[in-house]
């Protein structure tokens, strides 16, 4: 079986590491991949948005399964293009990936189907948005409608900040065309939890929970990033919370998408906030989280390919998802300056230390293979994951393992998983 993964981050490295465990996989390709993925797969220099080239490549190599890891190609319709060419592809079609691609769409869906989420209004006109804000209470949340690398959300503490926010999203187009429309949403407080789930169009099977740390600096300070570290499971995701979400959120979302004529196959990522009134949906993503995948997949006992095949075949109800009874923590090693400006091309030393170390993983994100060795090639460089019997041990192990690798301008948060001390 020949598999092609589309993407180039730590998430795709984690997917690749799971995929190659399947004995039927005789050849793995990744487009475009990165320095770490190139040790498991043949990386091909085709960008994730070059749909025609990706389809030609998949046809030429007779690929049996394409796995689309990233949001942009999913929202752009890469799965549809592959299917039109007769190539099985894992991920939602364009008409279902809109669940992530448009916050206005996802908010309307939740309202229509009574899925618990923050109250909101949608605006196409900045003047109307500003008028609305003058009657609002603060803090309030502004969200660019479209994809913005996880950065299109502004939490505004005053009217002045919010008016400035509308200007930057809708007029100055800080997030490009993603800001043509905007959602203004009630501010909620509580713990955040990420739950990823496999979906086959009608059945949904949630995976173990995780929590991300989106801000760049310790103590949840600094700018929003793609994610600076994760832990799994979340001790705040109790049985009671799980029961509520299964009853009012997970299946309800899948049924709503099917009822809208947009059956969802692939991964739904539920960004949840555990408020005092119960769990609420913060956002949906249409793919594995990054770096959530780096703590969830290493704990999954099932064969990833088999679960993906069941999603494509519509037979997910026959699959029992199983996770190890342990914990994992992932600490992201970034380039100093991320998410703003940072330098690239720094030699990474110590990668070989991970070889043969059971329970430790070094997932590459922004890295590149060169003649001198593997060098940094992005803001988030590596995701260091370690398992442990429970969260505290996993965290201790992960913070031990981050010392094994070094590069100039190495930056990380030192408090990934600190919240678990409160349990």
In whole angstroms, how close is the CB of 214 to ligand GLY at the nearest point? 7
Nearer to ligand GLY, 69 or 263 (CB): 69
Given the rule CB under 6 A, which of 22-30, 37-45, 187-195, 288-296 is the region that contacts ligand AMP?
Answer: 187-195
List of long-range contacts for 373-376, beta carbons under 8 Å, 24+ apart: 373/347, 373/348, 374/35, 374/36, 374/347, 374/348, 375/35, 375/344, 375/345, 375/346, 375/347, 375/348, 375/407, 376/335, 376/343, 376/344, 376/345, 376/346, 376/348, 376/407, 376/409
Report what 141 binds from ligand GLY, ligand AMP, none; CB cut-off 5-8 Å by kind. ligand AMP
- CA 62, 67, 71, 77 torsion: positive or negative? positive
Please report which helix (H) or strand (E) contains residue 335, including its range: strand 327-335
In whole angstroms, how close is the CB of 10 to ligand AMP at the nearest point? 18
What x-and-dash track marks residues 265-304 binding ligand AMP by CB under 6 A?
------x----------xx---------------------
What x-and-dash track marks residues 208-227 binding ligand GLY by CB under 6 A?
----x--------------x
- Reduced 3-state DSSP string for 38-52: HHCCEECCCCCCCHH
Q: Which of 64, 72, 145, 290 binds ligand GLY (CB under 6 A)?
A: 290
CA distance 77 to 92: 8
Q: Which of 141, 144, 166, 331 binds ligand AMP (CB under 6 A)?
A: 141
CA distance 360 to 325: 16
For the CA atoms of the chain, what is the radius of gyration? 21
Is 181 a binding residue for ligand AMP by CB under 6 A? The answer is no
* Per-residue exposure over 346-383, b if at least 16 CB sit within 10 Å of its own CB, e if not: bebeebeebeeeeebbbbbbbbbbeeeebbbbbbbbbb
Residues in contact with 336: Cβ distance below 8 Å, sequence separation at least 6, in sequence order? 342, 409, 410, 411
Given the rule CB under 6 A, which of 49-57, 286-294, 320-328, 356-364 is the region that contacts ligand GLY?
Answer: 286-294
Given the rule CB under 6 A, which of 24-32, 181-189, 377-385, 411-419 is the region that contacts ligand AMP?
Answer: 181-189
What x-and-dash track marks residues 319-338 binding ligand GLY by CB under 6 A?
--------------------
Site for ligand GLY in 138-167 (CB under 6 A): 150
Number of helices and strands (H, E) in the chain? 13, 22
Site for ligand AMP in 253-272 (CB under 6 A): 271
Nearer to ligand GLY, 200 or 212 (CB): 212
Residues in contact with 133: Cβ distance below 8 Å, sequence separation at least 6, in sequence order? 140, 159, 162, 163, 166, 184
Nearer to ligand GLY, 121 or 218 (CB): 218
Nearer to ligand AMP, 143 or 395 (CB): 143
Site for ligand AMP in 144-163 (CB under 6 A): 150, 153, 155
Report what 290 binds from ligand GLY, ligand AMP, none; CB cut-off 5-8 Å by kind. ligand GLY
Q: Which of 42, 80, 192, 303 binds ligand AMP (CB under 6 A)?
A: 192
Please report which helix (H) or strand (E) contains residue 155, including its range: strand 153-156
List contacts with ligand GLY (CB under 6 A): 150, 212, 227, 285, 289-290, 292
List contacts with ligand AMP (CB under 6 A): 118, 141, 143, 150, 153, 155, 185-188, 192, 214, 271, 282-283
């Amino acid at each position: 079986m020949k598999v092609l993964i589309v993407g180039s981050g730590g998430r795709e490295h984690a997917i690749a590491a799971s995929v190659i465990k399947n004995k039927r996989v005789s050849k793995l390709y990744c487009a475009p991949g990165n320095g770490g993925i190139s040790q498991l797969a043949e990386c091909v220099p085709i960008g994730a948005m070059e749909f025609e080239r990706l389809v030609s490549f998949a046809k030429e190599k007779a690929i049996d399964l394409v796995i689309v890891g990233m949001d942009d190609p999913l929202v752009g319709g890469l799965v549809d293009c592959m299917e039109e060419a007769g190539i099985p592809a894992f991920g939602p079609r364009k008409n279902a990936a809109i669940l992530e691609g448009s916050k206005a769409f996802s908010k309307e869906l939740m309202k229509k189907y009574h899925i618990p989420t923050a109250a909101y209004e949608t605006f196409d006109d900045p003047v109307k948005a500003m008028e609305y804000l003058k009657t609002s209470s603060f803090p309030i949340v502004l969200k660019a409608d479209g994809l913005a690398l996880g950065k299109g959300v502004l939490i505004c503490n005053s009217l002045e900040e919010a008016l400035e926010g509308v200007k930057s999203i809708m007029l100055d187009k800080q997030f490009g065309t993603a800001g043509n429309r905007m959602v203004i949403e009630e501010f909620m407080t509580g713990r955040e939890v990420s739950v990823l789930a496999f979906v086959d169009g009608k059945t949904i099977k949630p995976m173990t929970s995780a929590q991300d740390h989106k801000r760049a600096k310790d103590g949840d300070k600094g700018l929003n990033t793609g994610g600076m570290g994760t832990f799994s499971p979340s001790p705040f995701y109790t049985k009671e919370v799980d029961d509520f979400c299964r009853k009012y959120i997970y299946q309800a979302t899948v049924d709503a998408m099917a009822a809208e004529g947009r059956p969802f196959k692939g991964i739904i990522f539920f960004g949840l906030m555990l408020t005092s009134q119960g769990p609420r949906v913060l956002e949906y993503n249409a793919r594995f989280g990054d770096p959530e995948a780096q703590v969830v997949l290493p704990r999954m006992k099932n064969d990833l390919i088999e679960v993906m095949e069941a999603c494509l075949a519509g037979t997910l109800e026959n699959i029992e998802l199983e996770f190890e009874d342990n914990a994992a923590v992932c600490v992201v090693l970034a380039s100093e300056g991320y998410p703003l400006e940072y330098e690239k091309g720094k030699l990474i030393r110590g990668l070989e230390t991970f070889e043969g170390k059971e329970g430790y993983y070094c997932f590459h994100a922004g890295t590149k293979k060169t003649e001198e060795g593997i060098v940094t090639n992005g803001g988030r460089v590596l995701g260091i994951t370690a398992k442990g019997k429970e969260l505290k041990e996993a965290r201790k192990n992960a913070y031990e393992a981050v010392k094994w690798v070094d590069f100039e301008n190495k930056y990380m948060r030192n408090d990934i998983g600190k919240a678990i001390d409160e349990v």
